[in-house]
């Protein structure tokens, strides 16, 4: 369930071609028909017979033998190679100098493009699923949030297991190809989680939380969700550390265990600190 759909008006292109500044003289083609400079009437002197209309076949003592020139059929002239007999050729439009547009336009600022009003130049609009969040109850939103959060954790676990199979147990194959599907699904699921959180904030009368927004300005419901997310993340990280320790100490895996565990420990400390900050704000309310 995508959070956004491609804009039905601009088809995701974000812009339309401006029709207000199209050059009327060349019909926005940049070229117009101009008189051919190589001829006056669409024909030129035949270069094969030099304008005589005949070709010398045999030079005789008393008279020469000629035949009709096959190129001009005896007319001594043939169609102009430049204009193909049309008397006109394509030239740069003098009104727009080949730009296809007028030099000034108040509608597009002479850029030739105007932003789509339906998607406000973003190329995407809120999907039907995202709009349906506005009609769901708070309890239903919490349930949907919980379901997606659990799916993200499960897929992250699958990624960890796959990485261990490739890097720890020497599995043959393309790890990037195997992981790309899971990573794409995680990205989509996290987008849905963010949409649900924004709707819960809207219901609570709180602005959408940005990356730098403090916990004090978030609603109580949002704080509880954020605390649950971090709590699940800590449990998942601790499970991964236990698995790594089992691989090193139980299965005899070679390598630097402290180096492998250090990144997980940093994440656990970060989440734990954030959980403590959230709990402090909740206690004050």
Query: Could you give the 3-state DSSP secondary structure of residue 128?
Result: helix
pLDDT band at 210 (very low <50, low <70, confident <90, very high): very low
Mean pLDDT of the chain: 84
The conformation of residue 101, written as its DSSP 8-state character, comes to: B
Asked whether the beta carbons of 147 and 153 are under 8 A apart, the reply is no
- Give the pLDDT score at 68: 94
* pLDDT tens by residue, 240-269: 788 778 777 776 667 777 887 888 888 889
Q: 158-162, 167-171, 204-208: which has the minimum mean pLDDT?
A: 204-208
For residue 202, CA distances in Å to 91, 102, 205, 258, 282 come to: 59, 46, 5, 44, 19
Asked whether the beta carbons of 83 and 44 are under 8 A apart, the reply is no
Residues 6+ away with beta carbon under 8 Å from 15: 113, 114, 115, 116, 121
From the number of C-beta atoms within 10 Å of its C-beta (0-12, 13-18, 19+), residue 278 rates as buried
Would you say residue 153 has pLDDT above 80?
Answer: yes
- Give the pLDDT score at 209: 44
DSSP strand E in the chain: where?
4-6, 15-17, 31-35, 43-45, 54-58, 65-68, 77-79, 88-92, 113-115, 124-126
- DSSP H/E element including 239: helix 220-245
* pLDDT tens by residue, 68-87: 999 899 999 999 989 998 99
Would you say residue 96 has pLDDT above 80?
Answer: yes
Asked whether the beta carbons of 156 and 186 are under 8 A apart, the reply is yes
DSSP states of 5-60 as a string?
EE-TTTTT--EEE-STTB-TTTTTSSEEEEE-SS-SSSEEE-TTTTTSSEEEEE--
How far apart (Å, rounded) are the C-alpha atoms in residues 29 and 23? 8
How far apart (Å, rounded) are the C-alpha atoms in residues 168 and 10? 49
Would you say residue 3 has pLDDT above 90?
Answer: no
* pLDDT tens by residue, 8-21: 999 989 999 888 88
């Amino acid at each position: 369930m995508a959070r956004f759909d491609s804009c039905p008006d601009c088809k995701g292109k974000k812009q339309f071609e401006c029709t207000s500044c199209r050059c009327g003289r060349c019909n926005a083609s940049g070229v117009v028909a101009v008189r051919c400079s190589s001829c006056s009437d669409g024909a030129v002197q035949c270069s094969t017979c030099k304008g005589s209309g005949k070709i010398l076949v045999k030079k005789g003592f008393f008279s020469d033998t000629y035949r009709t020139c096959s190129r001009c059929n005896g007319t001594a002239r043939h169609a102009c190679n430049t204009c193909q007999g049309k008397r006109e050729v394509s030239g740069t439009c003098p009104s727009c100098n080949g730009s296809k547009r007028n030099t000034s336009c108040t509608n597009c600022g002479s850029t030739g493009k105007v932003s789509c009003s339906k998607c406000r130049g973003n190329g995407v609009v809120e999907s039907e699923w995202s709009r349906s969040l506005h009609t769901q109850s708070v309890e239903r939103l919490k349930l949907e949030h919980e379901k997606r959060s659990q799916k993200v954790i499960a897929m992250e676990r699958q990624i960890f297991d796959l990485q261990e199979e490739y890097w720890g147990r020497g599995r043959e194959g393309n790890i990037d190809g195997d992981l790309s599907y899971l990573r794409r699904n995680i990205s989509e699921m996290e987008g849905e989680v963010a949409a649900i959180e924004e709707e819960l904030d809207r219901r609570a009368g709180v602005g959408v939380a940005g990356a730098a927004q403090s916990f004090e300005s978030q609603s109580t419901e949002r704080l509880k969700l954020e605390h649950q997310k971090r709590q699940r993340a800590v449990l998942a990280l601790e499970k991964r550390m236990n698995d790594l320790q089992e691989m090193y100490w139980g299965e005899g895996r070679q390598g630097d265990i402290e180096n492998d565990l250090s990144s997980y420990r940093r994440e656990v400390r970060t989440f734990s600190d954030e959980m403590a900050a959230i709990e402090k704000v909740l206690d004050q309310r």
